[in-house]
Amino acid sequence: MRAVQVVGYHQDLRMAEVPVPEPEEPFDVIVRIGGAGVCRTDLHILEGQWAEKSGVELPYTIGHENAGWVHAVGSAVTGIAEGDKVILHPLVTCGLCRACRSGDDVHCANSRFPGIDSDGGYADYIRTNARSVVKLDESLEPAGVAAYADAGLTAYHAAAKAARRLTPRDRCAVIGSGGLGHIGVQVLKALSPAEIIVVDRDQGAVDLASSIGADHGVVADGDHVEEVLDLTHGGAEVVIDFVGEGGTTAEGLRMLKQAGDYHVVGYGENIDVPTIDIISAEINIIGNLVGSYNDLCDLMALAARGAVTLHTEKYALDDFQSAIDALDAGRVRGRAILTP
């Protein structure tokens, strides 16, 4: 089968021919890929940022946002069968550690992360585990939902956490309406009665956010923090930062009301805030990492009823380099999807 592989850091990806995976363990599931999302983390992998953390041995197949059809299952797998349409939770988890037994499987003590530390889904087939497989509603197709497996899941996880404290009197400022942010806006609209203000430096992204549920759109042109403060009458109860670099961390904290929650989703720079400012304003800085299996199930329920729509640009698997280049150059609206 075809597989797009990392052969060296600071080098282009390379197409290779490798054997089709087969079930090796009782709970293994082999999935024929229908769509694999192209994520900015993939660019960071090629830059070597994940080399030490993942410990992966090169070459290996990249791609951690995957959906497709069940091709084969291990001897102990029940509830799914060959031909079922599925999306894959990005982690392969053990089910036995304290985190897994608490429903917090994103923090599994024994997890594997296909596409990061083992072979992923820029390929015709992928091996995963039954614990990672979510069956899709008949109304959904793998290529249309693949990026929900990470980008959508991460956005849902942050927005759902934020929604738990938001009331009809509250306001939520969202920084960034790109691949993750445009999903987060829709999740907030579905789960929360709060007023939503979206900030992005790109007018097209602001327009997209307004079309999918944002109550106000603000272009980041230098005066945007003051504009948000005006719209929120002094600060938002919640800020969700889907960018996390280029100065947005400082701006996000400035947009926050006293006793507010600042959710960090995007990453790339440090948060520099005096401890006295955290204490005196009693603000909360909250990190967000992917999401649980149940989060993905909930997100798929929203997608099936049309409450959340993923904006995608599709590329053939053989055209992987064009997708990578378009993402790196900022030309992708929504998410780029490879379709074997």
Tens-digit pLDDT profile for residues 154-190? 999 999 999 999 999 999 999 999 888 999 999 999 9
Cβ-contact 7, 294 below 8 angstroms: no
Tell me: pLDDT of 46 over 90. Answer: yes
Domain covering 2-150+291-339, topology = Quinone Oxidoreductase; Chain A, domain 1 (3.90.180)
Residue 62: band (very low, low, confident or very high) from pLDDT cuts 50, 70, 90: very high
Sheet holding 14-17, edge to edge: 14-17, 2-6, 60-61
What class, spelled out in words, does domain 155-287 have in CATH? Answer: alpha beta
Please report which confidence band the pLDDT of residue 40 belongs to, taking 50, 70 and 90 as the band edges: confident
- Per-residue pLDDT, 334: 76
pLDDT of res. 332: 85
Q: Report pLDDT digits (tens) over 115-139.
A: 999 999 999 999 999 999 999 999 9
* Greater model confidence, 332 or 93: 93
135 contacts 163 by C-beta, under 8 angstroms: no
Contacts of 155 by beta carbon, 8 Å cutoff, 6+ apart: 180, 181, 183, 184, 187, 242, 265
- At 331 the pLDDT is 86
Domain ranges of the chain: 2-150+291-339, 155-287
Q: For CA atoms 184, 185, 186, 191, give the dihedral sign.
A: positive
Can you list the alpha helix ranges (DSSP code H) found in the chain?
40-46, 51-54, 98-101, 142-145, 151-163, 181-191, 203-211, 224-231, 248-254, 275-281, 293-304, 320-328
